[in-house]
Amino acid sequence: MAKRIARALAACCLFPTLPLSAAELPDYQRNSDWFTDGENRLAAKAEDERGNKTAKNVILFVGDGMGISTLTAARILEGQLRGESGEENNLSFEEFPYSALVKTYNTNQQTPDSAGTMTAIMTGVKTRAGVINIDGDALRADCASSKGRELNTFLELMESRGRSTGVVSTARITHATPAATYARTPERNWEHRAEGDCKDIATQLVEMEAGDGVDVILGGGRRNFIPTGADGERADGRDLTAEWLARYEGEQQAQYLETGSALSAVDIAGTDKLLGLFTSSHMRYEADRKASGADEPGIAEMTDAAIDLLQKNDDGYFLMVESGRIDHAHHAGNAYNALHDTIAFAEAVKTAVEKVDLEETLILVTADHSHVLTIAGYPTRGNPILGKMVTNDGTGAPQAEVAAAGDGLPYTTLSYANGPGHADLGSETDADERYTTAVNSGRKDLSAVDTKAPGFYQEALVPLGSESHAGEDISLHAIGAGSELVQGTLEQNAIFHVMVGATGIPVTAE
């Protein structure tokens, strides 16, 4: 592995300077201090060689907002849903042989956002919050300042080398995290329109120049691709779904679909390109999807279909799978949906592990940032993680009485350091409903409230209209070819170099 890392690093320096294209990284990207530091750190780790594998395929799973406390609470809930105490359980990817901690700050923020963090992962260069694949010298929402500062991504490198590529998300496919695999913009919110001579994110996806474009695109956000009307947001009148189909007409078999049943019925053997936009905006939370019976695929189903199509390419592939709604549930202050979406995410990872050959596939599982979810108090072991505090008196015997805080009120194991605060919507599973209610922070009397219900929203200390991200490290889990590079504490931009090092793919034109 050390030799392959060395060859990959040498490639970035020995190839002559060529006209910039989507097939290479510009000099200012490769010469960035963030980029070279990431290279050097990974080269040093590779000297402790533990394997001799080269990854033909890379699957990057990103749990948006899936911090350490989210992992802990989700693993407990998953175990408890099986009738166990929960604490001893592990999510599927927590069994991976290699792991690391990852520092997530942006160049201008101690606590980051998804645009800057995913840019670091996909390009090897840290940048500002709010900008996607533009280096940190540009200003947010300033089109002119972004020119000449565009960064190319690992997906584009793979696509330009003849590998297949895919993007799957439960959020809008033009949202910050999935967009950072293929787009460049100084403003993450320019999903269907942009200022100046910049292109909006949806247009960039459909017109992507690297290779022949992304092969599998599955997620939400249909409104950003179709004209203004009952479902669309595009004031320019363009129907990008039709343009995407026209791009491949007569050359490849392309399919566009809008339902889960259509995805299940796809003839993978007869399909070269697949675009699925299943909802107008974000896809449903997993619990809401199941409860509603909506004709909408789950994240494991989308992952399964994407791998089936991508692995038809004998040269290999790159797939990014995002569970975007973990983040949204946390912002609403609803741990129920955040944890259930994390469990569904772990199932998608399990699906991938069971489908691929790990001798030639690297699977990485990480988050882009954390959230201010806390697990506190001294609950007895096995106490429902979504429940009220039941204390342990030190003897090990469970206590029957709900514990009271110093103010005489019961409290829950899970709470948020900031956010909208408590709401009781009962069996409601859609955490977005929280945004229609007023901020209700501080201590509340939960005596008669079922805190395990889908519509319970945890108390919050500091009143904010939306719960915020957190700044602590997140985790990175790895299995398969090249996974031994994942060790210790890494800067977030080093994940790019893990993928480059594992595949040995050159970062300049061949």
Same domain, 323 and 354: yes
Annotated binding site for Zn(2+): 64, 327, 331, 368-369, 469
Same domain, 452 and 325: no
Same domain, 329 and 284: yes
User: 7 in helix, strand or coil?
Assistant: helix
pLDDT of residue 52: 53
Instruction: Classify residue 119: in a domain, yes or no.
Output: yes
- Residues 320, 34, 510, CA angle at the centre, nearest 5°? 65
pLDDT of residue 39: 82
Tell how far CA 205 is from the center of its chain.
17
Same domain, 155 and 296: yes
460: left (phi over 0), alpha (psi -120 to 50) or beta: beta
Instruction: Classify residue 509: in a domain, yes or no.
Output: no
Domain containing 210 — which CATH number?
3.40.720.10
Same domain, 242 and 329: yes
What residues form DSSP beta bridges with 150? 134
pLDDT of residue 2: 34
Tally of domains within the chain: 2
Secondary structure letter of residue 197 according to DSSP = T
Residue 37 burial by Cβ neighbours in a 10 Å radius (0-12, 13-18, 19+): middle
- Candidate list 114, 370, 441, 475, residue with the active-site label: 114
Both structure tokens of 116: 């800057």
Instruction: Classify residue 255: in a domain, yes or no.
Output: yes
pLDDT of residue 23: 61
Instruction: Classify residue 247: in a domain, yes or no.
Output: yes
Same domain, 142 and 268: yes
Annotated binding site for Mg(2+): 64, 175, 177, 322
Annotated binding site: 64, 175, 177, 322, 327, 331, 368-369, 469
pLDDT of residue 391: 74
Distance CA 149, CA 137 (A): 8
Confirm if 383 and 431 have CB atoms less than 8 A apart. no
Instruction: Classify residue 2: in a domain, yes or no.
Output: no
Q: What is the pLDDT along the chain (510 residues), one digit of tens a residue?
A: 333 333 333 333 322 233 345 568 888 888 898 888 888 877 766 654 444 568 999 999 999 999 999 999 999 999 999 999 999 999 999 999 999 999 999 999 999 999 999 999 999 999 999 999 999 999 999 999 999 999 999 999 999 999 999 999 999 999 999 999 999 999 999 999 999 999 999 999 999 999 999 999 999 999 999 999 879 999 999 999 999 999 999 999 999 999 999 999 999 999 999 999 999 999 999 999 999 999 999 999 999 999 999 999 999 999 999 999 999 999 999 999 999 999 999 999 999 999 999 999 999 999 999 999 999 998 999 999 999 998 766 655 555 578 899 999 999 999 999 999 999 999 999 998 877 778 999 999 999 999 999 999 999 999 999 999 999 999 999 999 999 999 999 999 999 999 999 999 988 765
Same domain, 310 and 359: yes
Same domain, 149 and 296: yes
pLDDT of residue 494: 97
State which amino acid sits at residue 393: D
Q: What is the pTM of this model?
A: 0.91
- Based on its alpha-carbon atoms, the radius of gyration of the chain, rounded to whole angstroms, reads 23
Same domain, 186 and 317: yes
pLDDT of residue 34: 84
Same domain, 199 and 232: yes
Instruction: Classify residue 430: in a domain, yes or no.
Output: yes
In sequence order, the 6+-apart residues with CB closer than 8 A to the CB of 293 are: none
Instruction: Classify residue 508: in a domain, yes or no.
Output: no
Q: How many CA atoms lie within 13 A of 177 on its CB side?
A: 31
Confirm if 335 and 372 have CB atoms less than 8 A apart. no
pLDDT of residue 3: 32
Structural domain range at position 439: 374-467
Confirm if 347 and 92 have CB atoms less than 8 A apart. yes
* Active-site residue flag, 447: no
Same domain, 273 and 160: yes
Instruction: Classify residue 510: in a domain, yes or no.
Output: no
Same domain, 124 and 247: yes
Secondary structure letter of residue 403 according to DSSP = P
